[in-house]
Amino acid sequence: MPNPTAAMLVIGDEILSGRTRDANMHFLSGELTKTGIDLQEVRIVSDKTSAIVDAVNALRADYDTVITSGGIGPTHDDITADAIAAAFGVSIDVRDDARALLQAHYDRQGSELNTARLRMARIPDGATLIDNPVSVAPGFTLGNVHVMAGVPSVFQAMVASVLPALTGGAPLLSQTLRIQRGEGDIAGPLGELAQEFDDLQIGSYPYQKDGVYGANIVIRGSDSARLNAAMTKLSGLFPA
């Protein structure tokens, strides 16, 4: 059986402008790989309601799981929760359980749960909360869409909260062989190998360092026996 599939939606003008470098995709792909869920698409959209709605509806129709990051904070441009509600056609308002979490948190800090902070308790109807042990303000799950914060430490904590509930498959394994030949020299034999082992992912990644150039050949798959067989043949094609 093929592994379950996933997509990630990164939300934020600051990512598209280059002001902020996204670290969440790298983390998420690693965690999903270990769980046996294939991350097959990542999209980045601006802080625009229509862009978020369109992307969410397209991704949730095509993949088993969608994970979003960004746009659920207290400021005016944090519009993700409203956009998710619009995508699902449900209403959104401050929810008692989310408000209670925030109230207790700010009471412990001796701070006020003001109007801006209360925005983080606005949850679409029908959603379940995602635990946030870092800064308390919850994410939420609606259908197959899991909505998480963009701050990496919080995003990672929310992923850890959600992953145990997701159905996984066979973890993806990988092996690498470094070849000191140009891609033009290895392309033919490598293409034939890829056809023979079409159940595996075979990628070529060129490098150049200190005047030496070549390619790292990476073979990925969930069947260790097939992976070993492909690596054995690859090593025979390009002996050290």
pLDDT digits (tens, 9 = 90+) for 57-92: 999 999 999 999 999 999 998 999 999 999 999 999
What Å distances lie between residue 174 and 89, 107, 136, 165, CA to CA?
42, 48, 37, 25
Q: Which backbone phi and psi does 114 adopt, to 5 degrees?
A: -85, -175
Cα–Cα dist 191/107, whole Å: 62
Q: What token pair was written down for 47?
A: 């802080």
CATH architecture of the domain formed by 5-165:
3-Layer(aba) Sandwich (3.40)
- Positions of CATH 3.30.70 in the chain: 173-237
SS3 183: helix
pLDDT at 206 (0 to 100): 92
**H or E element at residue 34:** helix 24-35
Q: What number is the average pLDDT over the span 110-133?
A: 96
Residues of the chain with CATH 3.40.980.10: 5-165
| Residue 219: burial class (beta carbons within 10 Å; 0-12, 13-18, 19+) | buried
Pick the CATH number of 173-237 from 2.60.40, 3.40.1350, 3.30.70, 3.90.550: 3.30.70
Please compute the mean of the pLDDT values over residues 127-146 and round it to a whole number.
96
pLDDT (0 to 100) of residue 171: 86
- The string of pLDDT tens digits covering residues 177-195 is 999 988 888 999 999 999 9
pLDDT of 1 above 80: no
φ/ψ (deg, to 5) at 228: -65, -40
Type of residue at 211: G
Quick check: 66 and 197 in contact, CB under 8 A? Answer: no
